[in-house]
Amino acid sequence: MTTPLRLGIAGLGTVGTGTVKIVRQKAHLLAVRAGRPVEISAVSARTRDKDRGVNLSSYDWEDDPVALAKRDDVDVFVELMGGSDGPAKAATEAALKAGKDVVTANKAMLALHGQELAQLAEANGAVLRFEAAVAGGIPVIKSLTEGLAGNEVTRVLGVMNGTCNYILTRMQSAGLPYDTVFEEANQLGYLEADPELDVGGIDAGHKLSLLSAIAFGTQVNFAGVELEGIGRILIEDIRAAADMGYRIKLLGVAQMTGRGLEQRMSPCLVPAASPLGQLEGGTNMVVIEGDAVEQIVLRGPGAGEGPTASAVMGDVMDIARGLRVSTFGQPAATLSPSQPAQSAAPAPYYLRMTLRDKPGALAKVATLLGASGISIDRMRQYDHADEAAPVLIVTHKTQRSALNEALEAMGQTDVVLGEPVALRIEEV
């Protein structure tokens, strides 16, 4: 086929301009690999006159992204505006209703409306691709939908927000407190306009819900993701974890259990020597476990102009080659509603608490843990100069519900000062 594949790109921020650069600079390479030219017909963004560092004069301009999506000279609508609703969703729906294929980097839109958009795509003979929405330049969507299609996936886990990983690793390497590193990340432009999307685990939770849908054949259920951010992690936790051979990561975990689909995005301890434990800076990593392949590890840049635009173009090239894959790896009608797990699988936990320095305080804590069926694996009490004694406890495997019961009982005593911190220890 020599007919060009014509793109309409909505959104000319970092990823949008990166995509334009690849199309312009790699035109010959793309044509050779796709077997047809890949061209841009028109673009759209909020501001027309902004200097984006790339020449856009040869493309038509549409102020309205919905109009761009409907153009006769657009075969693939590339949505890079962002936002779960509003113009992004309206333009995506318009493109799909017109039978046009869509490539998007919009994790929030898919996490909240993925099922209906997948159904709309199939009803109109279109495909909806979103490699760039999860883990930047890592081809994790393609791995799940294609390379691992012969596997029954048992677990997906990983670090999916580079900003949080930067903050946690910077705290460890520089010995700096959370607030200092948070402000540093903000000054470097790493944080979203609403920082809670990053540090609250929401951004990464969106990504986890998309991976879960593909891995387990379920409808996207972001509401079923248990979210906990990194705001409570102290430098003392970072140091104590390292002292015991662990590192703290904002870790997403999805697995199908007898209790339902477990989806968690929360700070966890992982072995320092594991691939996840060794992950530094803004890099992302996704670990996939399947019955045939056992375990694979995918690692790479999780954001940025080049990596994310690379993922966008991967989807564009598949469409140019004629590859048609269902949005979540199987027909939308066959995706089953997911039943959120009522409780997480048992695991060891790290507990940090401050005890009143008085006889019997530690014994009382151990008794309350034992009364909830929780046994202690390791315990450390650090030197202190006042009446508040910092104590660290690592439990054997237990249910989180049992741990919550014990923590509630501790709060009713006069020996625990403040609120204890409990972090799951994930086996990887």
Measure CA of the first residue to CA of the last residue in the chain; give whole Å.
46
CA distance linking residue 378 with residue 380, whole number of Å: 7
Q: How do 76-79 and 5-10 pair as beta strands?
A: parallel
Q: How many beta carbons lie within 10 A of that of residue 84, not counting itself? A: 16
390-423 in b/e burial notation, b at 16+ Cβ within 10 A? Answer: bbbbbbeebbbebbebbbebbeeeebbbeebbbb
What is the spatial distance between Cα 420 and Cα 262, in angstroms, rounded to a whole number?
24
Which DSSP letter does residue 62 get?
-
Indicate if 207 belongs to the active site: yes
Answer for the pair 409, 372: CB distance below 8 angstroms, yes or no.
yes
Element (H, E) at 7: strand 5-10
Q: Which of 89, 107, 207, 249 is catalytic?
A: 207
Residue 50's CB is within 10 A of a number of other CB atoms, namely 12
Q: Which of 115, 114, 65 is nearest to 91 (CA)?
A: 65
Backbone angles phi and psi of 75, in degrees to 5? -90, -35
SS3 75: coil
Active site residues per annotation:
207
